[in-house]
């Protein structure tokens, strides 16, 4: 852990502890590789950097119940207690996802953190090494932090009820009550699992149904027309409604 000004730091995504429109006492968090950095704007010009010291680059982070959570590509889930920047502590609350649960050709493509109905969930999206463009072929949902000696399987969520999850590589994932919005499907996960897209590459957008494990891909190639003749570009975003 060390205070520092960020330099040569490519920010993929940042997370806020709360909306700056509500309070001036908020925290900004960013991550790169295995390092999480955070600061309190207006309170300090320095960023506090915390290295998680585990294999695998970070895939997502979120702020939940006054603590920073992070997850990497292997499924490790971490808590970083940052209430006291001088004594920031990191601990693992979920170990690496067991390889025996994946199968010989299966890999984790994306690990996302999302708060849903006051629970913190980690959603693992999987691909098969033989699939074209390594498109997502399934998802599994787990509740974190693990406690009382629970394992991955003990913490698995089989049904989301009337809720839908929206996963995004370029922004924070979120959860909604499906019945509040016309046309949204309950007990489903809306995927957007590629950060960068091109006409020749599957955008990996779809809807995973928790009931039958099938992925529907109703989004046509018109999503990709703006990339014609250009190099890889940043993918699209899900936008959370505020009404």
CB 129 within 8 A of CB 173: no
What's the confidence (pLDDT) of residue 125?
A: 94
Global confidence as pTM: 0.83
The strand pair at 196-197 and 205-209 is best described as unpaired
Q: Using one digit for the tens of pLDDT, what is the confidence trace for 51-75?
A: 777 777 888 888 898 888 989 988 8
> Cα separation of 2 and 37, whole Å?
9
Task: Determine the pLDDT at residue 5.
Answer: 47
How is the chain split into domains, by residue range?
Answer: 1-94
pLDDT value for 218: 84
pLDDT along the chain (243 residues), means of 10: 51 71 76 78 74 79 86 88 73 88 87 93 93 87 81 92 90 89 91 72 84 87 54 70 65
Nearby residues of 152 by Cβ (< 8 Å), 6 or more positions away: 75, 94, 97, 98, 101, 142, 146
* pLDDT tens per residue, range 169-212: 777 789 999 998 888 899 999 998 876 666 656 678 889 999 99
CA angle 23, 50, 65 (to 5 degrees): 40
Residues 39, 44, 47, 49: is their CA dihedral positive or negative? negative
């Amino acid at each position: 852990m060390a205070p520092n000004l960020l330099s040569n730091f490519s920010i993929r995504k940042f997370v806020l502890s709360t909306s700056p429109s509500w309070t001036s006492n908020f925290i900004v968090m960013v991550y790169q590789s295995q390092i999480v950095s955070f600061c309190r704007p207006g309170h300090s010009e320095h960023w506090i950097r915390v290295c998680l010291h585990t294999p695998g680059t970070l895939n997502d982070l979120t702020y939940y119940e006054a603590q920073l959570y992070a997850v990497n590509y292997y499924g490790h889930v971490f808590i970083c207690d940052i209430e006291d920047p001088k004594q920031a502590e990191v601990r693992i609350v979920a170990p690496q996802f067991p390889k025996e649960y994946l199968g010989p050709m299966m890999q984790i493509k994306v690990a996302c953190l999302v708060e849903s109905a006051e629970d913190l969930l980690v959603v693992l999206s999987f691909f098969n090494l033989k699939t074209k463009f390594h498109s997502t072929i399934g998802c599994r949902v787990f509740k974190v932090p693990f406690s009382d000696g629970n394992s991955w399987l003990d913490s698995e969520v089989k049904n989301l009820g009337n809720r839908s999850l929206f996963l995004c590589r370029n922004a924070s994932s979120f959860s909604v009550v499906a019945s509040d919005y016309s046309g949204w499907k309950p007990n489903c996960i809306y995927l957007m699992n590629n950060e960068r897209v091109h006409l020749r590459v599957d955008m990996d957008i779809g809807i995973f149904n928790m009931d039958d494990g099938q992925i529907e891909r109703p989004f046509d190639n018109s999503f990709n027309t703006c990339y014609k003749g250009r190099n890889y570009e940043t993918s699209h975003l899900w936008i959370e409604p505020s009404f």
